[in-house]
Amino acid sequence: MSGKVWLVGAGPGDRGLFTLRGLEVLTAADVVVYDALVGDGVLGMIPPEAELIYVGKRSSHHAMVQEDINRTLLEQAKLGKNVVRLKGGDPFLFGRGGEELELLTEAGIPFEIVPGVTSAFAVPAYNGIPVTHRDYCSSVHVVTGHRRAGEALDIDFEALARTGGTLVFLMGVAALSDIVSGLMKAGMPSDTPAAVLEKGCTAGQRRVLGTLATLETEAERANVRTPAIIVVGRVCGLAERFHWQEDRPLFGVRAIVMRPRHLVSGLSDLLRREGAEVVELPAIRIAKVTGAAWDKVIEAIHSLQSGGYDWLVFTSPSGAKLFMDALMEDGDLRALAGVKLAAIGEGTRKALRQYGLRADFLPTVYDGETLGRELREVAAPGSRILIPRAAIGNKALIDALGDGFDITDLPTYDTLYERSPVFDVKAMVEADGVNLCVFTSASTVRGFAEGAGDVDFNKVNAVCIGRQTAAEAQKRGMRTWTAERATLEELVRCAERAAGELR
């Protein structure tokens, strides 16, 4: 039985421009065949169980030639797998998607096409350039600037010059000189506004403006590199009025966010809203303890159901979710009648709300030491306190609580560290530009360190949610910034301060 192939357009880089249909197909993939122009944010959404095959192609540098890519899709589908061919932009706009379908069609392999947002329109939009405008032009034309080695451009410049419309050249940076000279020789005025737009819809986005006569010089002065597109037309003059992307506080920032694999990161959404390009690295995975250790968790739940505890203290959203799920499997929320709930911070409080529960107590500072010290002031002497948490949980909470209570420190889950099969973390950290690693716990710092390989930690700019997280980062030599309060909103403000200092 054969499988099926989906040709999926990944869009121009920003994961927010990835389509809902594309995400639906990607999450069901057995195999993902992806290229060099797929944005990191989209790559971060590939399911961890999917097999990855990289077939990236840059100018004159091919990980796999096109004919081999075609055969790879066919071979994987014949094995009965759901194959996603993930391509930057749109697969049918200079993406060679038609070529990849020919072999599949001959072999009778079923396929679907998922169009993507093309960089031809999205990148100008992110730079404040509308490719059409009633007062400036009535058409837009998308042209490939790619040429085979040693051959001239196969472009009818005279026809393009006669249109009077906006011209968008994809893959044309290497041929910029020929493009601008060809248009001027065809009669287009030398003072026609033009732009080169580099790395659009990413943290590295840059815009170089000029005219047909000056654009090549301006691009050389700015040392423009691929990927970039060329836009020619009067609409380019609107960029200085209509720009918006660079006006956001975290524009130009690539933020690496560490999170447990099973959690959707609200932090990432907040960072993206402020203009950051976010790469999520699920460097830690939560797994419930097993064997005799899990038997103790069940015993504690039974004791809770029979009135054996006065306080239930949660030190992480993961711990709250895992314990509450176990409780609900064995009983229901009536077991918590008369039991007071403490949460270490806003994230844990929100996790409890998902079960219809309200935390009775939060510390003024969201860390274990403060939680223990302040809980000691409100809990009655002799209170029976159950603390389900990570097996490697920090002892500061227990030490701060001190004597006078009946404390059950219950290892409930293990924190396992992972390495991303997609991302080169070292290259990310050492890349040009403003790069931040945003940590929401000490365990995410440890997870990053485990998965980052031989990264020079002195080059890591760590934005930390609290003192314990910062201390863990500082132990490794990272430069740190610490949020004033341990909330996601304050963590984003802290990222903005760090970015301001690093620019």
* Four-residue CA torsion sign, 173, 124, 428, 498: positive
Within this chain, domains 253-284+419-502 and 287-417 share the same CATH topology: yes
Is CATH 3.40.50.2300 what the domain over 4-117 is classified as, yes or no? Answer: no
25-44: average pLDDT: 94
Q: What pLDDT is stored for residue 321 in this prediction? A: 92
Orientation angle between helical segments 317-330 and 292-305, nearest 10 degrees: 70
348-377: average pLDDT: 93
- pLDDT higher at 40 or 424: 40
pLDDT over 70, % of the chain? 96
Kindly report the number of other CB atoms within 10 A of residue 96's CB atom. 15
The three-class DSSP label of residue 187 is coil
Q: What pLDDT is stored for residue 262 in this prediction? A: 56
Q: What pLDDT is stored for residue 149 in this prediction? A: 62
Q: What pLDDT is stored for residue 106 in this prediction? A: 94
Give the residue numbers annotated as catalytic, written as ranges.
35, 57
- CB hemisphere CA count around 2 (13 angstroms): 14
The three-class DSSP label of residue 455 is coil
Least confident of 32-36, 199-203, 397-401, 485-489: 485-489
Residue 272 amino acid letter? R
Q: What pLDDT is stored for residue 61 in this prediction? A: 53
Contacts of residues 261-265 at CB distance under 8 Å and 24 or more positions apart, as own/partner, are 261/48, 261/285, 261/286, 261/418, 262/286, 262/318, 263/317, 263/318
- Nearest CA to 6 out of 115, 116, 81, 111 is that of 111
95-107: average pLDDT: 92
Q: What pLDDT is stored for residue 92 in this prediction? A: 95
CATH number, span 121-245: 3.30.950.10
Confidence of residue 286 (pLDDT cuts 50, 70, 90): confident
Q: Where are the domains of the chain?
A: 4-117, 121-245, 253-284+419-502, 287-417
- Nearest CA to 313 out of 439, 304, 244 is that of 304
Residue 447 amino acid letter? G
User: In this structure, are residues 38 and 115 in contact, taking their beta carbons and an 8 Å threshold?
Assistant: no
273-298: average pLDDT: 90
Is 109's pLDDT higher than 60? yes
Q: What pLDDT is stored for residue 390 in this prediction? A: 87
Is CATH 3.40.50.10090 what the domain over 287-417 is classified as, yes or no? Answer: yes
Condensed to tens digits (0 to 9), the pLDDT of residues 419-463 reads 778 888 888 888 877 799 999 888 889 888 888 878 899 999 999
Is 19's pLDDT higher than 90? yes
Is 393's pLDDT higher than 80? no
**Separation CA 331–CA 304 (nearest Å):** 11
Is 162's pLDDT higher than 80? yes
User: In this structure, are residues 18 and 32 in contact, taking their beta carbons and an 8 Å threshold?
Assistant: no
CA distances from 45 to 22, 110, 401 (A): 11, 24, 41
User: In this structure, are residues 486 and 262 in contact, taking their beta carbons and an 8 Å threshold?
Assistant: no
356-372: average pLDDT: 92
Q: What pLDDT is stored for residue 327 in this prediction? A: 93
**Separation CA 465–CA 94 (nearest Å):** 44
Copy the structure tokens of residue 393: 């949980």
**Separation CA 461–CA 495 (nearest Å):** 10
Is 346's pLDDT higher than 60? yes
Check whether the bond before 227 is cis (ω within 30° of 0): yes
- pLDDT higher at 430 or 374: 374
Residue 320 amino acid letter? A
Mean pLDDT across the chain, nearest whole number? 91
Confidence of residue 283 (pLDDT cuts 50, 70, 90): low
- Nearest CA to 12 out of 255, 142, 254, 199 is that of 199
- Nearest CA to 233 out of 288, 185, 284, 165 is that of 165
199-228: average pLDDT: 96
- pLDDT higher at 196 or 420: 196
User: In this structure, are residues 52 and 422 in contact, taking their beta carbons and an 8 Å threshold?
Assistant: yes
199-222: average pLDDT: 96
Residue 428 Rama label (left phi>0; alpha psi -120 to 50; beta)? alpha
Residue 17: φ, ψ to 5°: -95, 5
Least confident of 66-70, 239-243, 483-487: 483-487
Q: Is 231 exposed, middle or buried (0-12, 13-18, 19+ CB in 10 A)?
A: buried
CA distances from 77 to 19, 72, 81, 90 (A): 23, 8, 5, 22
The three-class DSSP label of residue 356 is coil
Largest CA distance in the chain: 90
- Token pair 């740190």 is found at 480
Condensed to tens digits (0 to 9), the pLDDT of residues 396-421 reads 899 999 999 999 999 999 988 777 78
CA distances from 4 to 76, 103, 206 (A): 9, 13, 39
Q: What pLDDT is stored for residue 59 in this prediction? A: 53
Choose the CATH number for 253-284+419-502 among 3.40.50.10090, 3.30.10.20, 1.10.3720.10, 3.20.20.450.
Answer: 3.40.50.10090
Radius of gyration of the CA atoms of the chain, in A: 27
Is 101's pLDDT higher than 80? yes
Tell me how long the chain is: 503
**Separation CA 199–CA 229 (nearest Å):** 9
DSSP 196-223: EEESTTSTT-EEEEEETTTHHHHHHHTT
Least confident of 158-172, 199-213, 308-322, 382-396: 382-396
317-324: average pLDDT: 91
Is 62's pLDDT higher than 90? no
Residue 287 amino acid letter? A
Q: What pLDDT is stored for residue 252 in this prediction? A: 94
**Separation CA 188–CA 89 (nearest Å):** 29
Q: What is the pTM of this model?
A: 0.84
